[in-house]
Amino acid sequence: MRNVVLGGLLLTGIAASVPAQAQDTVRIGLVQPLTGSVAYNGKSVVEGARLAVEEMNAAGGVLGKKIELIVEDGQCTPANSVNAVEKLVQKDKVVTLVGAFCSSATAAIMPVAQKYKLPLITGVSSKASLTEQGNPYFFRAAETDALMAEAFAKILANDLKLTKVAYIGVNDDWGRGGVEEFSRDLTALGVKTVLTEYFDHGATDFFTLLTKLRAAKPDGVFVAAETQDGSILVKQIREMGLDTKVFGVGSWATADFINLTGEAAEGIHAAVPYASSMDTPRNQTFVQKYQAKYGIKPGKYGAAGYNALNIAGQAIARAGGTDAEAIRAALAKTSYEAPNGVYKFTDKGQAYGFDAVLVRIEKGEPKVIASTPVDAPH
């Protein structure tokens, strides 16, 4: 049940599912950054989501209807993402929400989804605390920074022979969360922190930051950044003649990042929940379909959009209708076979069971050097 504002009057006791059932399609709302410095990544999420919807509709849709994906640009900012959700709920009457990429934006729309009692799935936002908010409508079909650090910090420390590390992250909830989690786990392994710096989304000149990096003399640099910012940063690291080992989280293993970064991407290590080179039959089929449609191999964000929409579509089908509470209950029972493993949710809505990989960029391809199933948080 929810309140509906109509002509300035507050009408109570109207079931959330009534408008949806009157529609010719089953509408799912997707909020992603389509403009701004992470637009590369948001557009990849949308591509993956559209492919999933296309496949589901080709197989008959859900509830005997086609799925209609309605996409809004949240720009990775809290205010714009909230406005996008309000529009999707009030005007478009979506039955489920997916979004909003940046953890800070997702944190802002979570209470809006809860206000309207609509399920919200993120396939990307990885700040660990999001699933600790006690929001029963929120489901994270993604890794957390904490889970990735726990899985790969020891392998990174040993493989890269790390003793002194500098940490660089984008100045938002996700960037700070990634730096905090990896620095904590690497410090526990005896790796010394020699520098911690943050930069703003859309930065293009890293000279001052890299001057500090050169002076710190690390043997490894952890970076939490997305495609546009990360490619500029890595190229400038190499242009300054710094041959330190670069590793991190974000879009490192995506074709977009590798294409933008060029030779400077060679040798980078990335801890990611998905890489196109994961060697499973299900993934090989996904890569072929994605590449045929978009002319590029999928990265973690294309896979994230694909997985989130499939999870949503399957839950709506299991619910047998568009009642939000029934969809929420169905999401809690998810067992979705993805290109990168099986997704299930904990009682707090955190996904587990899928595989995460550590990759090294070699000759423009993400080579998997370690793989581990993502366990439920302790």
Of 61, 84, 67, 83, the residue nearest 23 (C-alpha) = 67
Whole-number pLDDT of residue 22: 59
Amino acid identity at 104: S
Q: How many other C-beta atoms can be found within 10 angstroms of the C-beta atom of residue 346?
A: 14
| Predicted local distance difference test score (pLDDT) of residue 18 | 38
The pLDDT tens digits of the residues spanning 22-46 come to 589 999 999 999 999 999 999 999 9
Q: Which two tokens stand for residue 287?
A: 């890569």
139 contact partners, CB below 8 Å, separation of at least 6? 119, 120, 121, 122, 311, 331, 332, 334, 345, 349, 351
Q: Where are the beta strands (DSSP E) in the chain?
A: 2-6, 9-14, 25-32, 66-73, 96-99, 120-122, 138-140, 164-170, 192-199, 220-225, 245-250, 269-272, 336-338, 341-345, 351-362, 365-373
More confident residue, 159 or 21: 159
Instruction: Give the whole-angstrom CA distance, residue 278 versus residue 187.
Output: 30
Is the preceding peptide bond at 113 cis, omega within 30 degrees of 0?
A: no
| pLDDT at residue 23 in the model | 81
182-200 tens-digit pLDDT: 999 999 999 999 999 999 9
Percent of the chain with pLDDT over 90: 89
Task: Give the span between the Cα atoms of 13 and 22, in whole angstroms.
Answer: 17
Q: Which two structure tokens, joined as six digits, stand for 283?
A: 């993934």
pLDDT higher than 70, residue 225: yes
User: What CA–CA distance (Å, rounded) separates 284 from 56?
Assistant: 18
Q: Looking at residues 212-229, what average pLDDT do you find?
A: 96
Mean pLDDT (whole number) for 261-276: 95
Mean pLDDT of 228-243: 96
The per-residue pLDDT for range 46-84, each reduced to its tens digit, is: 999 999 999 999 999 999 999 999 999 999 999 999 999
Position 46 scores a pLDDT of 98
- Residue 149 to residue 177: CA distance in whole angstroms: 11
Are 355 and 373 in contact, with CB atoms under 8 Å apart? yes
pLDDT in tens, 246-256: 999 998 899 99
Percent of the chain with pLDDT over 70: 94
Asked if 156 contacts 358 with a C-beta cutoff of 8 angstroms, the reply is: yes
- What CA–CA distance (Å, rounded) separates 121 from 345? 11
The pLDDT of residue 375 is: 86
Contact between residue 97 and residue 121 where contact means Cβ atoms under 8 Å apart = yes
pLDDT of 20 higher than 50: no
Segment 334-371, tens digit of pLDDT: 999 999 999 999 999 999 999 999 999 999 999 999 99
List CB contacts of 52: < 8 A, sequence separation 6 or more: 305, 306, 307, 309, 310, 313
pLDDT at 378: 72
Residues 165, 137: contact at Cβ < 8 Å? no
Q: What is the mean pLDDT of the chain?
A: 93
Rounded Cα distance, 167 and 223, in Å: 6
Chain center to CA of 183: 21
Q: For residues 300 and 375, what is the distance between their CA atoms, to the nearest angstrom? A: 19
